[in-house]
A and B are shown apart, each in its own frame.
Chain A
Amino acid sequence: MDHLKIDSLSKSFKRHRVLNQVSLEIKPGLFGLLGPNGAGKTTFMRIIATILRPDEGEIRFNGIDWSKNPDQVRKMLGYLPQDFGLFRNITARESLEYIGSLKGIPKNHLYFEIKKVLEEVNLQEYENKKVGGFSGGMRRRLGIAQAILGEPQLIMVDEPTAGLDPEERIRFRNLLKRLGNQNRIVFLSTHIVEDIQATCEQIAVLNKGKAQIFNSTSELAKIAHDKVWKLTVNEDEFNEIEKNYKVISSNMSEKGIDLRILSNIKPNNDALSVEPSVEEGYLTWIHQ
């Protein structure tokens, strides 16, 4: 399978440049796009999903040029946007039949395809229930079902775990992982580092319109090498440290407050350099 090649992608709204010469090459598997809120992730996803058109740049996949053949792109695309819903008066099966027909899935395959994806997202019991009665988590799962319907080569999911309870979130991550193992590109955009850490082999971080690719989560974590410090302080010291350093985490312990600090220099003599996490690497990158 070909790689998804994104070359010098730029997009502005009025005078605000949201994406600035973003270039990425994504190989099959689960790809995470990380970035803070307002970094341009949704705009980036919408461009890939052919909803928006870039001002500059090129996107290619399997020989298809996004700007020339948007309808071809749509045929191989499964997209779950950040805000997703379906018609309330329509059943899950009817919704998927509609989407499947538009995707061009032959009628004789559609029935089984729908059954398959509903099983995949554990909604088989709700096949003939109207979407209006679904919980937020069920709707998200149905969103994934519609995105994977027809086995698209490129699946785009934008902030899929937002608003889900922990159990749903774990189920979702596992589902994405499974999809990523099926020789296709699964493009996951999120601001939740945990989601990426648990699922993705490749990562890109997007901030202020610029993006950088990392071949693994550990590569991202490495950015914070020698910059993460661990120390235990009392309450007075904590206030002082919080004023001068970026505190990543704080936990109460018997000895006082256990802190993880992001700093280029050693904060004090008691501080110990520790192995950075992906989140710490990510925070280091966006604050660079």
Chain B
Amino acid sequence: MHYFAENLKMELRLYRRGIWVWLILTLLLIYLFTGYYIFVESSFSVGQLLQSSTYILMAGSLFGLVLGVISAQRERKVKFEEVLISLPGDWARPFTKIFAWGIIVFILCFFSCAEVIFFYILSKSQLLLFWKETVAYIFLYWGFTMFNAGIIGFAFAYVFRSYFTYIGLFFYWILTSPYNSILLPVNISRWMNQGEQNPNLTYDDYHGLFFADAIFTRHLIIFFLSIALVSLALVIRQVKESTKKEKIILIITSVSTLFLSIILFPLSANSLMKDENASSEDIYYRQFQEQNPLNNTYNVSPTLQIKSYKIDLNTKNEKISYIAALSVNISKENYNKWSFFTLYHGLKVNSVHLDGNEMNWKQDGDIVSILCPEKSKGDLTFKVEGVTSSFNPVDKKSFYLSASFPWYPIPGKWRIAEINTDGNIRYNCVELQTPAYFHIKYHKKERIFSNLLNVSENEFKGEAKGVTLMKGNLLEFNEKGMHIVAPPDLITRVPILLPKMKESLDKISFSLKESNIKIPENIFVVPVEDGNNDVEIYSDQLVIDADQLRLFYGQEEKYFTSIDCLIPSFYLNRNNHLYDSESLFLALFDSLYSNSRESYNNKRLKGLIDYPESLRDKKARSIPSQIIALQNKISREKMQVLLLDWYNQLKVGKLSVEYMQTSLNNLK
């Protein structure tokens, strides 16, 4: 311990007296300052700053490697090594150096955290409530990467004394960076990458910064491998010849750390599976749609009436499990007949009981069929376990279980997702047909949020057509009859946005001769899948895409009050968008209603003429010019009638390009 302390004192003194640590600290603090300023100016997202901090990670790794080399060669370069070897406690020196490097990394991370948190305070960001996450992120991604790089640099420089050391280290640097896919196959590059899986992604406010056990394990494996490498380096070091005892200890250290790395490897590979799941989800519904085309009458209304649900929910990493007790009424005509429930296929039913008696049941894809007994009512209990879709992501840190998604058995046979004409997967709203009474219990301490009434810690009750449960970087806001659940900073924007959105909706409703739309009291800012609208309205809740809200931070009305956002979300057929028809309809609507009543605004129509390829169907490309030509021939009122006619077709998903052509020809 004495040798360790003395060596540590000297090593830290050398770091303190050298230029490198000060240089790194200065650069880091300046970079964070300018980075924070830029991100706050543009989107008020420090989360994005951290997530996009690839350059910090790479610079940290590079500095780590350089300082590792310096640390390993320090004594050798000044010709002090021989004297130190001849002194007692030389065995402790390499490990002291690693420990000292750990302290330096800790100090650098500490200052980074302090600066970022200081900025939170300065800009009154609600992210301050989640400061622990920021600290963990900086230490995990920047700190651990830098620390490991330092050890690797140390090990390399200890053994190799030529310039090849630098070539080897350069390769390590590239292979462990988020840009390593230029050199490695995808799966290997993902594993080797010590930073964000995709640094170009938009920061996910709902989920917060990306943490996974696999990321930590990956860093841990690199750490163990580094230690194994250092131990090996010490065995074969050139200046000192180790004793037998020393060699044995070093070889045992090397082998055991190598062994630990191998044991941990499967845990670190888990995250590679996630994307495969996402793509298999797409394939699943593509094949499903081939077998059950959209025009096919796939949906079947429920034959059982559900009075209430009692769900005891649990989550473990990406899995959820629960026991759902459904109080059901069975009519006589359904006795001894199969009754359908819709349940996402990733969730596997383990058993189904009615009042304790095992039922005859089967699960096929998204459908669970139950053979109804001759019993008028009872408690139907489902034991379920499995994973949800990318639409309802679940992981250790957060989850979003939507009221529109059948994560619990929904009576009836419903199509869960569709592949739109643009090829994107889109999730339908699969709610109950009639409200039921829900009683939900979540068996973990982390706070969750719901559209139902919170009766005690993570226990919710109430009547609804569906249940939304959310966990993550979220805050709650209750005021003026509104219940808003949203990520920090974004939550303050929602109450400002809603009146403006309502105003625009009223105008659109008036133009389309629809009754005014009431915005539900539950508003959730959530992750939304690409194929779905950025705003979705369910029976008792409004869902807003967190990414989009972030993108328009401070200028939300620019997008969320536009017809592009509101009309598809609130007025059109939610399922199976008709892209060309929709574009033409919106262009006509814009032409008629965005300017004063005296003139047309044809900017959008002209845009479609200038960029005809934005309409996929070639037959549709002549329509914009036909509309403009018609504006000079017929009255505005007639154009409005045309718009309403198209709207009535579009909202039921039946407005074809041919229909539009015909209706235009009829007006000429």
Contact = CB atoms under 8 A, between A and B. Distances in A.
Interface string B1-19: 0110011011001100110
B88 A75 contact: yes
Contacts of B243: 53, 67, 70
A85 B78 contact: yes
Interface in A72-89: 74-75, 77, 79-81, 83-89
B451 to A, nearest CB: 64
Interface stretch (B79-87, B139-147, B610-618): B79-87
B85 A50 contact: yes
A94 B6 CA distance: 11
B318 to A, nearest CB: 51
A87 B88 contact: no
Nearest to B79: A85
Given A51-B240, A51-B241, A52-B241, A74 B80 contact: no
Nearest to A89: B17
B74 interface: yes
Nearest to B14: A87
A51 B80 contact: no
A266 interface: no
B83 A84 contact: yes
Contact of A79 (B78, B86, B240): B86
A83 B80 CA distance: 8
A12 interface: no
A123 B90 CA distance: 27
Interface in B58-117: 74, 78-80, 82-90
Contact of A84 (B3, B13, B80, B240): B80
A17 B82 CA distance: 22
Interface in A41-97: 46, 49-53, 67, 70-71, 74-75, 77, 79-81, 83-90, 94
Interface stretch (A18-26, A101-109, A251-259): A101-109
Contact of A87 (B2, B78, B241): B78
Contacts of B79: 81, 83-85
A94 to B, nearest CB: 7
B455 interface: no
A4 interface: no
Interface string A1-24: 000000000000000000000000
Contacts of A102: 3, 6-7, 84, 87-89
Contact of A90 (B3, B7, B17, B87): B17
Given A87-B74, A90-B13, A80 B83 contact: yes
B88 A74 contact: yes
In this complex, the member of A51, A84, A143 whose beta carbon has the largest number of chain B beta carbons within 10 angstroms is A51
A89 B239 CA distance: 24
Interface in B112-150: none
A83 B6 CA distance: 24
Contact of B85 (A51, A90, A103): A51
Contact of B10 (A52, A67, A98): A98
Given A75-B88, A101-B6, A102-B87, A89 B18 contact: yes
A77 B90 CA distance: 14
A99 interface: yes
Contacts of B6: 98, 101-102
Contacts of B2: 101, 104
Contacts of A79: 82-83, 86
In this complex, the member of A49, A84, A101 whose beta carbon has the largest number of chain B beta carbons within 10 angstroms is A101
In this complex, the member of B6, B9, B14 whose beta carbon has the largest number of chain A beta carbons within 10 angstroms is B6
Given A51-B240, A101-B6, A102-B6, A87 B89 contact: no
Nearest to B10: A98
A101 B96 CA distance: 15
B83 A81 contact: yes
A157 B86 CA distance: 12
B239 A85 contact: no
A87 B80 contact: yes
A146 interface: yes
Nearest to B6: A101
Given A75-B88, A102-B87, A103-B88, A81 B10 contact: no
Given A51-B241, A85-B80, A87-B74, A74 B87 contact: yes
Given A70-B243, A99-B87, A102-B89, A46 B82 contact: yes
A75 B240 CA distance: 17
In this complex, the member of A52, A71, A75, A143 whose beta carbon has the largest number of chain B beta carbons within 10 angstroms is A71
Given A49-B86, A101-B6, 9 more contacts: A50-B85, A51-B241, A74-B87, A83-B82, A87-B14, A87-B80, A89-B17, A90-B10, A102-B6
25 contacts: A46-B82, A50-B85, A50-B86, A51-B86, A70-B243, A71-B88, A74-B88, A79-B82, A79-B83, A79-B86, A80-B83, A81-B83, A83-B82, A84-B83, A85-B78, A87-B74, A88-B78, A89-B14, A89-B17, A98-B9, A101-B2, A102-B6, A102-B88, A104-B88, A143-B83
Interface of B: 2-3, 6-7, 9-10, 13-14, 17-18, 74, 78-80, 82-90, 239-241, 243
**Which 5 residue pairs across A and B have the least CB separation, nearest first?**
A89-B17, A85-B79, A85-B78, A81-B82, A79-B86
Interface of A: 46, 49-53, 67, 70-71, 74-75, 77, 79-81, 83-90, 94, 98-99, 101-104, 143, 146
